[in-house]
Structure 1
């Protein structure tokens, strides 16, 4: 298997897909990998999978036309992504995505291009770090007026998609991550990778589900790119779970997930906890099964009657699975090296004291490690703000990110990232002035968390030459909006059609049979008595 190519910077990737003359500020923050609760419930008699989690937040802001002064702009887009690592599987979960409605309308919209590029860039990073590991992008599409920006629903310019439109939109966001048909057939590009997409909509089956899929979903030698259904059984086999395992061991539990709430209700009915260590019945603890749900098909059928999926609501669950065609056989030594590599990456962004404490807590051994006596001059450390991180980047130089376009973003501690998210969720984006003030407040708050005063945004200018449906170049101005008014034919009323025919009688092309006025006989009116 060939080595993975180097991953480009986030700034360059975004600039390559955004239209020319489109300028924005991108701010990307993320937390280092830390141990978390298992994403999947363990099989009966098995230990929970060791899972690590890193949180990522990408925000995009633009400068309003009325804002002449230098400022932080106005936030127009936000995407939060959670990345879970286990021994055999990497899961990229799109937690939240939202817009404020203050982005100037243009076609094609930069929102979808930014979202696709960010997910593709994160996928490339994970593939570069773990080329032999299976990777899955997962999300659920549920329409709401606002997710990340409070008050943005009051903005009349914000375009909120309904349930069906949102599912189709997310399918079009993930679809460009697939290699193109000519690349698959010619064997260029990522020819050593297999891609497969899945969509499950509770209450919809077969052709009804296919109506949500992108128009580019074509049949090739590898079959359909997108399929109705889910890859949960396939992912369970990758994790080493037996085929006959209970359904609760095959379903992931994401934050604010409709199916995770249903799973919790099913657990409560039989007294099962998430780790299956506590139950009201010893027999249930041994089997780890639900009383009413025996397999995955029955679970999705029951999801149709949940509050999130009933009363006219539609929720779509999407997966995109990427795996090597010929994965190498894992060896004990390889797994040991991978585990040591994961632990080293996890502790790169921590200070020496926290590293020592973490090593002692992970080992769990009663034997205490003998420490060497310290010697040399005592150098006091500078105090830092609560929730901050002593190491902002791998190089420790924040200004280098903006100048050298490394694109690795700003690394915050877990506490600092949570504080930045809570600040964002308590701001106001109801109008332009409030959105401008909220943007400045959030930027200054993140800077205060890190204890920095320099500009940490990435200034992105689009370089792509895009073309509209009519073949004309698309710019950032409003004059390039596609006007389909001349292509729309309105149905005329009968009296309007007769008058139009009379006016255009002299312009009718030869060959069309037209009755002249002398050949039309009118019925005589009855004589008046």
Structure 2
């Protein structure tokens, strides 16, 4: 990364991401970016299946972007024989999860945090952190588009003193936004994706493979903002962008058709306020005639007793602890429709239903009790199956299937299996970023651990 990566950096981020990040930096600013990711891995369905249907086969791909700056660790003036020692310090980190099925790609922005140690920017210029976040999201959108498959960027904005950098709240230079400021910040991050959508070069999939390139496409894009308990979204949007945002949600068009119960329309993201409410409502479906592990979709209508519609769900969310008592939570979506489909068609439930792949209905199969046979004959030993290393498992993962698209240009500089990726993000939470000296130590320990894998 010419202007944004240190000359002595480890394996750099992809050239396209490096160029995008560099464009967001003031002239002369030099930062280092760490981009980690995991390969697409089978996970639980993001949406609950409608009654009598199987849950959709879903894959999860995780991404982590950490951006660091450098500072001198010596107080003596440098000389030709003793150059100044420098150390890295985290200034920003984002964690993103990508869920894919045959009919939908969901980019969920899970966490974002800063330390307050970013270098000062020119007077009158905005902080580069917002541009870095926007460039990273646009990079993922650009490399995860699939033909005839809509893509949605989703997040919830809820203020917290610290998400990824323990102790950073003690740094007086860190600006901790309140709920309303954070919603405005994310609207400013995402709005350029609506005003000027990332031009996407998508593969031409045939029978689950990509054999050719269709060319560049610019899909119709619509942004949504919903704040439980607040009707007007205008105060949260940049003045020039208010015509590009819709007050509401796109959930009716993203998953199941409208006749499905509300629980099948709402995605279940980790550490999401509405996901916790979903779990509480699902407890209503586990009556005395069902076990805790039984799926509510196997019997009955799969509808909650207390909440009968999406409107009732959001009205009830306004009374939840996360959205009441002076707290505000914003739910944001940016929906990239299918190429050639207008904004009206993209928002139509009928169009969404037409795009959906048919699901396999459940069939009750009565199993017959089999007679136990007596084993006889010679015993033939099996050749032991050699366990593949993590690197071999990643290398053998196909880059595309009908469920996901995993191009090399959209992967991290380091690709880790899901378990190692989880350990890498957990390792970040063991550091202390209360002072610059502590942040330098924590950043150095994390980067050394990452490249020691």
Q: What's the TM-score bracket when you normalise by the shorter of the two chains?
A: 0.7 to 0.9
Q: 1:393 to 1:69 in 2, by over 3 A?
A: farther
Aligned counterparts, 1:29-40, within 5 A: 29-40=36-47
Is 1:61–2:61 an aligned residue pair? no
Equivalent residue, structure 2, for 1:415: 419
More helix by share: 1
Given candidates 163, 176, 192, the residue that maps to 1:160 is 176
Shift of 1:17: 2.3
Is 1:443–2:450 an aligned residue pair? no
Contact in 2 for aligned 1:90/1:133 (Cα 8 Å): yes
Is 1:9–2:27 an aligned residue pair? no
Shift of 1:225: 1.2
Given candidates 244, 261, 276, the residue that maps to 1:225 is 244
Shift of 1:407: 7.3
Is 1:316–2:323 an aligned residue pair? no
Aligned counterparts, 1:14-93, within 5 A: 14-66=21-73, 69-71=84-86, 73-93=88-108
Q: Deviations over 1:229-265 (max 9, x none)?
A: 00000112xxxx2311110000000000000000101
Is 1:136–2:140 an aligned residue pair? no
Residue-pair matches, total: 365
Equivalent residue, structure 2, for 1:255: 270
Contact in 1 for aligned 2:59/2:101 (Cα 8 Å): yes
Equivalent residue, structure 2, for 1:213: 237
Equivalent residue, structure 2, for 1:270: 285
Moved over 6 A (4+): 272-276, 391-395
Contact in 2 for aligned 1:42/1:275 (Cα 8 Å): no
Q: Deviations over 1:117-136 (max 9, x none)?
A: 00000000012xx1321000
Equivalent residue, structure 2, for 1:145: 161
Aligned equivalents of 2:87, 2:393: Cα separation in 1:
24
Given candidates 209, 225, 238, the residue that maps to 1:199 is 225
Aligned counterparts, 1:474-493, within 5 A: none
Contact in 2 for aligned 1:41/1:274 (Cα 8 Å): no
Q: 1:275 to 1:21 in 2, by over 3 A?
A: farther
Shift of 1:180: 4.3
Contact in 2 for aligned 1:72/1:443 (Cα 8 Å): no
Equivalent residue, structure 2, for 1:291: 305
Aligned equivalents of 1:170, 1:229: Cα separation in 2:
16
Q: 1:406 to 1:45 in 2, by over 3 A?
A: closer
Aligned equivalents of 1:417, 1:167: Cα separation in 2:
29
Q: TM-score, normalised by structure 1?
A: 0.63
Contact in 1 for aligned 2:95/2:109 (Cα 8 Å): yes
Q: 1:437 to 1:232 in 2, by over 3 A?
A: same
Aligned equivalents of 1:80, 1:286: Cα separation in 2:
38
Q: 1:28 to 1:136 in 2, by over 3 A?
A: same
Shift of 1:192: 4.4
Max radius of gyration: which structure? 1
Q: 1:394 to 1:9 in 2, by over 3 A?
A: farther
Aligned equivalents of 1:406, 1:271: Cα separation in 2:
42
Given candidates 425, 428, 433, the residue that maps to 1:429 is 433
Contact in 2 for aligned 1:133/1:323 (Cα 8 Å): yes
Q: 1:199 to 1:173 in 2, by over 3 A?
A: same
Aligned equivalents of 2:16, 2:43: Cα separation in 1:
28
Q: Deviations over 1:160-206 (max 9, x none)?
A: 1100000000000001112349x9xxxxx97741000000000011x
Equivalent residue, structure 2, for 1:120: 138
Q: 1:262 to 1:274 in 2, by over 3 A?
A: farther
Equivalent residue, structure 2, for 1:355: none
Structure 1 unmatched ranges of 5 or more: 1-6, 184-188, 219-223, 337-373, 396-404, 451-529
